[in-house]
Amino acid sequence: MPFLFRDTLTGETRELATLEPGVVRMYNCGPTVYSTPQIGNFRAWMFADVLRRALELGGHEVRQIMNITDVGHLTLDDTESGEDKLEAASRREGVTAWDIAARYTEEFFESARRLNILPAHEYPRATQHVPEMIAMIRGLIDRGHAYVTPAGNVYYDVATFPAYGRLSGNTVEELEAGARVAVVPEKRHPADFALWKRDEQHQMQWDSPWGRGYPGWHVECSAMARKYLGDEIDIHTGGEDNIFPHHECEIAQSEGLTGKPFARLWLHNRHLLVDGRKMSKSSGTMYTVDDIEARGHSLRALRYMLLATHYRQPMNFTWPALDAAAGAVRSLDTSVRGITAADGVADDPSLAALSAGAETRFLAALEDDLNVSAALAVVHELRAAVNRAQTVSRGDAARLRGTWERLDSVLGLDLLAHAASTPEARPDDAEIQGLVDARTAAREDRDWARADAIRDELAARGIRLEDGPDGVRWTRD
Ligand SMILES: [Zn+2]
């Protein structure tokens, strides 16, 4: 079956038809490295990771490129306003902008590694690709898509690119009518965006045909995508906040230069909210992976939580939801660990059919615009069925482990390694009571799937529950 995705550019659900059969060229907008990445940022990179893993499970070879934005930019670059976050961090921490970039690039890699995000094939740094950006800007000037102002700034001339606004709906006329862009006298049109800023005060500056300065943010991605993936790519991803202006401008630059369609599919993930609200520094909700661990939670639970919400749905982070994710991971661990093989037990054909069926349905769910809810439902059905099977033949055990390995190649929870390295401890009374209480709470919330998952987990660990008029009683087998 082909993969189907909802494409932001056309608004249609479209088949993934790659330029080169079997090979997916994918570009993901990566971090701007001026502070420790927080879990909201990781939603986008977890989406990219699960997408890549799903494509690989589906038999594609994926060439994944994620940029590192390590050049500082004004937040509102084109109106000369806002702050340069790298330079602001440099003042705050008393080191250079270069040191800031190096430090937070490392922190990004470290957090990504701890979340078991597969490394991209390349992580091009903007600071190391300025010649490619200058070449692209030159090409755009030669083709009449960009102009140099007397002050030495270079702008993209949006009026020369009629498709501008197709991705975001912010057409040149719309922008004018809504006065969405401030007037800067040296620009031909208020929506024109900077390709090169002449600035000899900026900490990061390079020589260019237009004087010393630094590149615009948008041209970085166009230039690096082209260098590593070619003029045309299969999938471009980013957070919904990247749609405008960033990706709109990338299309104008890349297609303005090459005359070819830039990305065949544009996929965008929605934001992560904390307790139903936008994360903010003032409310203390910009959690990092260290914050999650400091509160005693595992990053496997965080990973499960980040992948369990469909990428086009807003995701709401709450501590109880993280507890629920931890419970789901525990129930998978228990099930995988519980696959006990014995000699003299005959193969059970229904188990082989169950494994194969689970794999087929899991992949089919992912092929349907990465339907993770359906994929996880398959995972938990398999878990429950395996729990019921108890002792199995050696052949069935090997088959089941193979199935878990393939499902986990997308989940990224290291289920088999985890099961092997942590033999089940006999649960103590407090732990059992905690799970029983969590099940009661889930039932009160009418979250039957969660309540059943906890009952199954307890059953797999030899605990029997009895619902009675005075509450729940439990006994050990
Ligand atoms: Zn980008």
What single-letter amino acid sits at 80? E
* Core vs surface per residue 242-255: b (16+ CB within 10 A) or e: bbbbbbbbbbbbbb
Query: At which residue do the structure tokens 């093989």 appear?
Result: 341
- Domain boundary among the residues 232, 253, 269 is at 269
Residues 219 and 311 reside in one and the same domain:
no
- Ligand 1 center to residue 143 CA distance, Å? 23
| Beta-carbon contacts of residue 182 (< 8 Å; ≥ 6 apart) | 79, 81, 190
- Ligand 1 center to residue 60 CA distance, Å? 24
Per-residue pLDDT of the chain (477 residues; tens, 9 = 90+): 899 999 999 999 999 999 999 999 999 999 999 999 999 999 999 999 999 999 999 999 999 999 999 998 876 666 566 788 999 999 999 999 999 999 999 999 999 999 999 999 999 999 999 999 999 999 999 999 999 999 999 999 999 999 999 999 988 887 776 665 667 889 998 889 999 999 999 999 999 999 999 999 999 999 999 999 999 999 999 999 999 999 999 999 999 999 999 999 999 999 999 999 998 888 888 999 999 999 999 999 999 999 999 999 999 999 999 999 999 999 999 899 888 888 888 999 999 999 999 999 999 999 999 999 999 999 999 999 888 887 889 999 999 999 999 999 999 999 999 988 876 656 677 778 888 988 988 888 888 888 888 887 787 777 888 888 888 888 876
- Ligand 1 center to residue 62 CA distance, Å? 19
- Asked, for residue 174, whether it belongs to a domain, the answer is yes
Distance in angstroms (rounded) separating the CA atoms of residues 56 and 410: 9
pLDDT, residue 432, reads 84
- Ligand 1 center to residue 195 CA distance, Å? 14
- Asked, for residue 348, whether it belongs to a domain, the answer is yes
Contact indicator for 271, 239 with CB cutoff of 8 Å: yes
- Asked, for residue 465, whether it belongs to a domain, the answer is no
- Ligand 1 center to residue 246 CA distance, Å? 7
Cα 77 to chain center, whole Å?
A: 26
- Ligand 1 center to residue 229 CA distance, Å? 14
Residues 120 and 262 reside in one and the same domain:
yes
- Ligand 1 center to residue 125 CA distance, Å? 12
Residues 263 and 305 reside in one and the same domain:
no
pLDDT, residue 223, reads 98
- Ligand 1 center to residue 54 CA distance, Å? 22
- Ligand 1 center to residue 434 CA distance, Å? 45
- Ligand 1 center to residue 140 CA distance, Å? 18
- CATH code where residue 120 lies: 3.40.50.620
- Ligand 1 center to residue 221 CA distance, Å? 5
pLDDT, residue 466, reads 86
Residues 134 and 34 reside in one and the same domain:
yes
Residues 409 and 316 reside in one and the same domain:
yes
**3-state SS class at 461:** coil
pLDDT, residue 53, reads 98
Residue 333's nearest CA partner among 442, 425, 398, 449 is 425
Question: How far, CA to CA in Å, does 206 sit from each of 105, 225, 274, 297, 345?
Answer: 21, 21, 40, 44, 71
Rg of the chain taking only CA atoms, in angstroms: 26
Measured from the Cβ of residue 346, the count of other Cβ atoms closer than 10 Å reads 9
Residues 219 and 72 reside in one and the same domain:
yes
- Ligand 1 center to residue 249 CA distance, Å? 10
| Residues, Cβ < 5 Å to ion ligand 1 | 29, 221
* Core vs surface per residue 124-137: b (16+ CB within 10 A) or e: bbbbebbebbbebb
DSSP-assigned beta bridge partners for residue 15: 4
- Asked, for residue 4, whether it belongs to a domain, the answer is no
| Beta-carbon contacts of residue 449 (< 8 Å; ≥ 6 apart) | 380
Residues 258 and 143 reside in one and the same domain:
yes
Residues 184 and 59 reside in one and the same domain:
yes
Contact indicator for 15, 4 with CB cutoff of 8 Å: yes
- Ligand 1 center to residue 219 CA distance, Å? 9
Distance in angstroms (rounded) separating the CA atoms of residues 351 and 102: 51
Contact indicator for 344, 364 with CB cutoff of 8 Å: no
- Ligand 1 center to residue 30 CA distance, Å? 7
- Asked, for residue 382, whether it belongs to a domain, the answer is yes
- Asked, for residue 236, whether it belongs to a domain, the answer is yes
Residue 257's nearest CA partner among 412, 427, 139, 421 is 139
Distance in angstroms (rounded) separating the CA atoms of residues 80 and 192: 13
Query: At which residue do the structure tokens 């993770």 appear?
Result: 372
Measured from the Cβ of residue 60, the count of other Cβ atoms closer than 10 Å reads 19
Residues 260 and 332 reside in one and the same domain:
no
- Ligand 1 center to residue 224 CA distance, Å? 9
- Ligand 1 center to residue 170 CA distance, Å? 18
- Domain boundary among the residues 254, 269, 284 is at 269
- Ligand 1 center to residue 76 CA distance, Å? 15
- Domain boundary among the residues 221, 254, 269 is at 269
Q: Estimate the crossing angle of helix 299-308 against helix 39-57, to 10 degrees.
A: 70
DSSP-assigned beta bridge partners for residue 467: 472
- Ligand 1 center to residue 178 CA distance, Å? 25
- Asked, for residue 373, whether it belongs to a domain, the answer is yes
Copy the structure tokens of residue 193: 């965006």
Q: Provide the residue range defining the domain that includes 345.
A: 297-424
What single-letter amino acid sits at 382? L
Residue 193's nearest CA partner among 72, 74, 82, 78 is 78
Residues 264 and 310 reside in one and the same domain:
no
Residues 257 and 360 reside in one and the same domain:
no
Contact indicator for 67, 29 with CB cutoff of 8 Å: yes
- Tell me the pTM: 0.89
Number of domains in the chain: 2
Residues 301 and 264 reside in one and the same domain:
no
**3-state SS class at 259:** coil
Contact indicator for 178, 141 with CB cutoff of 8 Å: no
- Asked, for residue 228, whether it belongs to a domain, the answer is yes
- CATH code where residue 330 lies: 1.10.730.10
